[in-house]
Chains A and B, each alone.
Chain A
Amino acid sequence: MRRIWRANTVTVTVLAVLLALVVGAVLIVFGNEEVLGEYGYFFAQPGTPLGDSLRLVAEGYANLFKGSIVDPSAVSGAIAGTNNWSLVFSPISETLTYTAPLIFTGLAVALAFRAGLFNIGAHGQVIMGCVGGAVVGFGLPLPPGLHPIAALLGAALGGAALALIAGVLKARTGAHEVIVTIMLNYIAFWFLQWIITKPGVHDPTRTDAISKTIDNTAKLPSLGNGLRINLGIVLGVLAAAGVAWLLNRSTKGFEMRAVGLNPDAARTAGMSVGGAYVLAMGLSGALAGLGGGVVVLGTASDLTGQVAGTIGFDGITVALLGRGRPWGVVASAVLFGALHAGGNRMQQVSHLAIDLVTVVQAVIVIFIAAPALVKAIFRLRQPGGGLSTGLAKGW
């Protein structure tokens, strides 16, 4: 993983995103049978298919932009007084709403990476965070102000508890955290399916598998009238600042980084390698759990089988794109949030499947994982020929 980051400059990251959008454009064209059909007459009328393709792609990406950042027509409408100002802020609100949980899961994976652990279990930890947050959210009668704090605490504990199983097993027995966390993902998933049907959690007024509704006192306060954006995004940025401080400015972070880069040297210098693994995994799980908490206390109102969505797995992607650094995670979470929000509009207006956005995300990550490919495409110079595999050992 570290080698991947070292080979990736910011340039490569940006170029990877651009390349992915190009791949997305090709897919948009291939997805449209009408335009695709025009290519049959390419040599007779080359202008038609090319022009139509361009138009199609431009329209799709314009809607991606309008859905995620701002729609110029809403701005002029608001100035003219024909529509509400909230329509202007709605795209950015949507983007940041999707961003918030991704910051948490991205930080979770990044923190574990820095300590040398590959936390594939963010998904399961998000689920436990959802359960922890929701149970406190509808189970404990608390006053507003205190309630969301308690519910977030429940979410963090839920995620941390699951992650600690992997952390402790790794520290004590050397069990590989990748295998353990993958398995814990299944356990968490089926635990959620089970618990939402059980009395005390299940909503007795419903026949389907759904939990009680979370008390309004526990919800995260909204940041704008009529908008979905809530305190979660602020908490996410604060969490990034906290993780940045922890990693770079604290003794525990120093330990975790040292263990992540060279556990043997860390141990020889008197550090507790197992202790660092447990701490990193616990914090990672807590962050992922908070990601789940932000979902259930922010946008969802109850637990369903699919409440956690894919934010756990997206966290891995976000952490990779953010190169394992807290502020990089924030930036890539915003990008993914924007792709998601814009993808919704693309689907509604341009009738392009939202899955396209998922493909674009995946392609970004493939390019990130293969920096040599991006460099070759753009013919970036290799300092010191970093590509050749070093076979020769020794002095």
Chain B
Amino acid sequence: MANDHIDLVVEPGEIHALLGENGAGKSTLMNILYGLLHPDEGEILVDGTARRFRGPGDAIDAGIGMVHQHFMLVPVFTVTENVMLGAEATRAGGLLDRASARERVLAVSQRYRLPVDPDAEVADLPVGVQQRVEIVKALVREVDLLILDEPTAVLTPQETDELLDVMRGLKESGKSIVFITHKLREVKAIADRITVVRRGAVVGTARPDASEDELASLMVGRTVKLTVDKAAATPGDPVLSVRDLSVYDDRGHEAVSGTSLEVRAGEVLGVAGVQGNGQTELVEAIMGLRPVADGTIELNGTDLAGRSTKAILRAGVGYIPEDRSVDGLVRDFTVAENLILDQYDRAPYASGVALRPAAISEAAKEWIAEFDVRTSSADTPVGTLSGGNQQKVIVARELARQVKLLIAAQPTRGVDVGSTEFIHARVVRERDNGAGVLLVSSELDEVLALADRIAVMYGGKILATVPADTPRERIGLLMAGVTEEAA
């Protein structure tokens, strides 16, 4: 059950934060409100009348709009075309009436101070602006209640501030907003009221003046450590040296352009940056998953050029890919099969071409215990596990063997707080055991908590490498591409 008898009341002109861990049931609740899912029990009242939504169209008619976490925009359409999509204005004869649609986009964008160019193609717009288009799309349909699903996940700290301003403006003009998030700071900054959801049920409401610790423990159900315990690093020789690396993305654009970095044994190098600034391509190039256009990558002094992913893994690299459901796990495979996914053809799990089921299940049982994977058995399909436990399967797979270099890309994305604590502790332990760790995360808090040095990536380049105690405002500026000289 994703939602268990939830009561939620949103007042007019209110910003109501819905706070909860990943998987707590926030999205399910909002998808019900927006008509995408249907409640088994209970009802939705809009302005006091019970409404039944058969689909998003009904919800929009009732004045409810939603901006999804993953934008629902057609990249090759212009802003106007995207806004009119689904409610196309037509002239006589069924012809599209672009001109009037364009007028309405301009009107809404001026009225609510949401600057967008109605003629720009969406694919060319930065993420923050695309989000604005989504909001315009909802406002054009004259909604009174706007649901924002994790809107800040893809934004820089500065873009986040702009979004919060927009939200304040909407509130002033009488709109209500449901703001779904798991980021405590933002909630405190903007919400009028906070509802905390855990395991599909409302566990409490809070005022924005509650402390972050209070909110976190309400959200998780126990006291949470917001910091990671770690001693000072004792860096050794470089494990990974990347020099002047250039890599192309899938569309053939240069995603990493002439970047260098170095990870030393016994330290965590955190790569901070807004998603889509070349971090993915950088990591894939190191792992041999993407061709290197220019530059060199060395592991312990040996060039990795032209090596297969298998050879790189064998050379002592552990890899936690950024998207576990796409790159990390085979959902329909069992936990045990996923635990040996990159070791399946080596002793003791195989002899010759024959798998050794006994050795596999023995190792699986051991790792499930050691890495605290909550599963009914080693033979359960991994796709049925919670996100945190899926991630622990990957962490177990990569850390059960001795690694010299650990590459952890978004290691705790979509992972509950308990598992996050566990994974962070394991990463620090790898470091203390002398491995070099390359941590890539778009969560600045995670980078700040774990890294010994921070490299900020912007536009395919490492703009600067700064000490871990650098103020977050400065890192935020770097993430937006503002360097000292320019500032």
Q: Which residue from chain A places its CB closest to the CB of B72 in the assembled complex?
A: A393
Residue in contact with B22 in the complex, picked from A2, A254, A264, A395, CB distance below 8 Å: A395
Interface of A (DSSP majority class): helix
The smallest beta-carbon distance between B65 and chain A, in angstroms, is: 16
Contact B310 A264 (CB under 8 A): no
Is A394's CB within 8 Å of the partner chain B?
A: yes
Given the complex of chains A and B, what is the CA–CA distance between A258 and B70 in angstroms? 27
Q: Which of A372-395 contact B (CB under 8 A)?
A: 391-395
Whether the Cβ atoms of A261 and B354 lie closer than 8 Å is: no
In the bound complex, do residue B289 and residue A267 qualify as a contact, i.e. CB atoms below 8 Å apart?
Answer: yes
Q: Classify chain B: how many residues form its interface, as a range.
A: 35 or more
Stretch at the interface among A118-126, A225-233, A269-277, A307-315: A269-277
Distance in angstroms between the alpha carbons of A250 and B356 in the assembled complex? 9
Q: Are A270 and B309 in contact (CB under 8 A)?
A: yes
Other A-B pairs, 4, CB within 8 Å; known A265-B327, A394-B69: A258-B333, A258-B341, A272-B308, A392-B36
- Chain A residues lying within 8 Å of B311, measured Cβ to Cβ, are 270
Q: How far is the CA of A86 from the CA of B284 in the complex (A)?
A: 66
Task: Scan residues 229-272 of chain A and give those whose CB is less than 8 A from a CB of chain B.
Answer: 249-252, 254-255, 257-258, 261-262, 264-272
Taking a contact as CB atoms under 8 Å apart, the answer to whether B310 and A249 are in contact is no
Contact in complex: B357, A392 (CB < 8 Å): no
Which residues from chain A contact B144 at a C-beta distance below 8 Å? Answer: none
Report B's interface with A, CB cutoff 8 A.
22-23, 26-28, 31, 36-37, 68-70, 149-150, 287, 289, 308-314, 319, 321, 326-333, 337, 341-342, 344-345, 350, 353-355, 357, 387, 414
Check A393–B333 contact: CB distance below 8 A. Answer: no
Query: Please, which residues of chain A bring their CB within 8 A of the CB of B332?
Result: 2, 261
Point out the residues of chain A lying under 8 angstroms from B330, CB to CB: 258, 261-262, 265-266
Q: A251, B287: Cβ atoms under 8 Å?
A: no
Q: B198 CB to closest chain A CB, in angstroms? A: 14
A252 to B, closest residue via Cβ:
B353
Task: Please state if A395 and B387 are interface contacts (CB–CB under 8 Å).
Answer: yes
Question: Nearest chain-A residue to B413 (Cβ)?
Answer: A395
Question: Which among A261, A391, A392, A394 has the greatest number of chain B C-beta atoms within 10 A?
Answer: A394
* B355 x A254 contact (CB < 8 A): yes
A268-B28 in contact (CB<8A):
no
State whether A268 and B319 are in contact (beta carbons under 8 Å apart), knowing that A254-B344, A395-B387 are contacts in the complex. Answer: yes
Q: Are B357 and A268 in contact (CB under 8 A)?
A: no
Query: Is A251's CB under 8 angstroms from B355's CB?
Result: yes
Given A249-B355, A261-B332, A270-B313, A394:B27 Cβ within 8 A? yes
CA–CA, A29 and B150, complex, Å? 62
A262 vs B313: C-alpha distance in the bound complex, in angstroms? 19
B225 to chain A, nearest CB (A): 23
Query: In the complex, which of the residues B27, B327, B357, B387 has the most CB atoms of chain A within 10 Å of its own CB atom?
Result: B327
Chain B residue nearest to A250 in the complex (CB): B353
A-B contact pairs, 10 of them (CB 8 A): A251-B355, A258-B337, A261-B330, A261-B331, A262-B331, A267-B327, A270-B310, A270-B313, A393-B69, A394-B69
Is B344's CB under 8 angstroms from A268's CB? Answer: no
Q: How far is the CA of A250 from the CA of B349 in the complex (A)?
A: 11
B26 surroundings in chain A (CB, below 8 A): 395
For B326, give its contact among A255, A257, A261, A265 (CB under 8 Å).
A265
